[in-house]
Amino acid sequence: MNKFTYFCPTKVYFGQGAAADALKQELPKVGKTVMLAFGGGSVKKNGIYDELRTLLLEAGKEIVDFEGIMPNPTYAKVQEGAKLVRERQVDFILAAGGGSVIDCCKVISAQAVIEEDMWSMEYEQGKFPAAGIPMGAVVTASGTGAEMNSGAVITYEEKLWKGPIVGTGAAFAILDPMYTAAVPPMQVMSGAFDTMSHAMETYFGRSDADNVSDDVALAIMRNTVINMRRLTLDINDMQARSNLMWDSAMAENGILKAGRLTDFQAHQIEHQLGAYTDCNHGQGLAVIQPVYYQHILEDAKEKFTRFAKEVFGQDTGEKGLKALAELIKECGLPTKMEQLESKVEITPEVLRQVADTCNIIKSGPRQLSREEIYKILCQCL
């Protein structure tokens, strides 16, 4: 194990009825004006908005709505939210949504108390926020694990860049599997694959052979696969949904990353694909990751064999990757670029730009060249 400091300040309220339990305990601790932030309106259709609003009013809060946070949230939306927080003197942010809403709010929280532009502060000066407007996260679509960390992924449209930005972590997270009941099946599966991807990307980073984090990551992968399969039989299986909801939080709350290096090369490629196409994150990973792994199979042969055995009950890395590809198909996830919803036609020229601009990771099984990334992307066409 490498040296590490682990700290996760997010209190988790898990299970049916978690919102009422959490908000009754947490709201008395926060100021009067609460910004209730959400996405394109699903929370209004499924009753979550009304439920949260009632709990906020019962706690004597004044509510400021902030709506329309889009999937793959933009930096412009962050600035809009931060402006609203300042104008209305918001004391607390309650983010109700999937990774996009939660990420956007994490950066709004920090930007609202920081004078300088967060992007230049982090990317040009290498400074990171120390505090922000306190916030809580209500997870309505699981998969990203965004509720238990302070990192966000934001699209800066003008710069054609989708990438990480550090914000403020949620003080508490509400994980009620019933809140995910109305998530469209494709999003349920793409969220679950994102979880699987996080555990794989962590596991395939360089580490000691006997790193305990590897064992934990493999357990999360196994459980994710079992429960994705259960959902192919019944998408409303709430036991499977609740396992996946906790798998998701576990995969990105830092536990798997303790004492080791991580890879996350597939994520870097997918994020830049997202910058150009606005594609769905989990679906983009489902297309890219198996092809990426074919390319690096020989560079981490033993790890791939262990992955194959422990996650899919197969005896070689090759068979493990075949099983991964089959899982993706079984779950109805896309396997080719043409199946992704995209705002532009995904041509080799677009993929060239993605390959030329994405981050390259040094701590994976092998550092890729831009030419290899382009080749991987073209194989996904």
User: CB within 8 A of 101, min separation 6: which ones?
Assistant: 37, 38, 39, 69, 73, 95, 140
Which tokens in the block code for residue 129?
């926020």
Q: What is the x/- site pattern for Zn ion, positions 73-112, by CB under 5 A?
A: ----------------------------------------
Q: Which stretch binds Zn ion (CB under 5 A): 130-138, 162-170, 193-201, 220-228?
A: 193-201
Distance CA 192, CA 264 (A): 17
Do the beta carbons of residue 188 and residue 224 sit within 8 Å?
A: no
151 binds, among Zn ion, ligand NZQ, none (CB under 5 to 8 A by kind): ligand NZQ
Look up residue 136 and give its DSSP letter: E
Among 79, 151, 171, 323, binds ligand NZQ (CB under 6 A): 151
Name the burial class of residue 35, with classes exposed (0-12), middle (13-18) and buried (19+) by CB atoms within 10 angstroms of its CB: buried
Specify the residue for token string 């494709």: 186
Q: Which stretch binds ligand NZQ (CB under 6 A): 93-101, 107-115, 291-299, 353-361?
A: 93-101
- The verdict on 98 binding ligand NZQ (CB under 6 A) reads yes
With CB atoms as reference, the residue minimizing the distance to Zn ion is: 194
Among 282, 320, 334, 364, binds ligand NZQ (CB under 6 A): 282
Nearer to ligand NZQ, 12 or 308 (CB): 12
Distance CA 255, CA 199 (A): 10
CA-closest candidate to residue 130, choices 92, 80, 167: 167
- Which amino acid is it at 206? R
- The verdict on 147 binding Zn ion (CB under 5 A) reads no
- The verdict on 373 binding ligand NZQ (CB under 6 A) reads no
Among 15, 40, 134, 259, binds ligand NZQ (CB under 6 A): 40
Q: Which stretch binds ligand NZQ (CB under 6 A): 174-182, 209-217, 303-311, 313-321?
A: 174-182
User: CB within 8 A of 286, min separation 6: which ones?
Assistant: 190, 193, 328, 333, 334, 335
Q: Which stretch binds Zn ion (CB under 5 A): 35-43, 131-139, 177-185, 191-199?
A: 191-199
Among 183, 189, 192, 231, binds ligand NZQ (CB under 6 A): 183
Which tokens in the block code for residue 121?
């502060």
Handedness of CA 218, 96, 77, 93 (dihedral sign): negative
Q: Which stretch binds ligand NZQ (CB under 6 A): 98-106, 315-323, 336-344, 369-377?
A: 98-106
- Smallest gap from Cβ 203 to ligand NZQ, in A, equals 15
Q: Which stretch binds ligand NZQ (CB under 6 A): 144-152, 228-236, 346-354, 373-381?
A: 144-152
Distances (CA, A) of 180 to 156, 221, 237, 302: 28, 21, 11, 37
- The verdict on 153 binding ligand NZQ (CB under 6 A) reads yes
Name the burial class of residue 149, with classes exposed (0-12), middle (13-18) and buried (19+) by CB atoms within 10 angstroms of its CB: buried
DSSP notation for 289-321 = HHHHHHHHGGGGHHHHHHHHHHHH--SSHHHHH
Which tokens in the block code for residue 194?
């994102």
Residue numbers 250-269 binding ligand NZQ by CB under 6 A? 252, 267
317 binds, among Zn ion, ligand NZQ, none (CB under 5 to 8 A by kind): none
Handedness of CA 211, 305, 264, 101 (dihedral sign): negative
- The verdict on 141 binding ligand NZQ (CB under 6 A) reads yes
- The verdict on 353 binding ligand NZQ (CB under 6 A) reads no
Partnered with residue 138 across adjacent β-strands are 96, 174
- The verdict on 263 binding Zn ion (CB under 5 A) reads no
Among 194, 201, 214, 310, binds Zn ion (CB under 5 A): 194
Residues of this chain that interact with ligand NZQ (CB under 6 A) are: 39-43, 46, 71-72, 97-101, 103, 140-141, 143-146, 149, 151-153, 179-180, 182-183, 187, 191, 194, 252, 267, 281-282
Residues of this chain that interact with Zn ion (CB under 5 A) are: 194
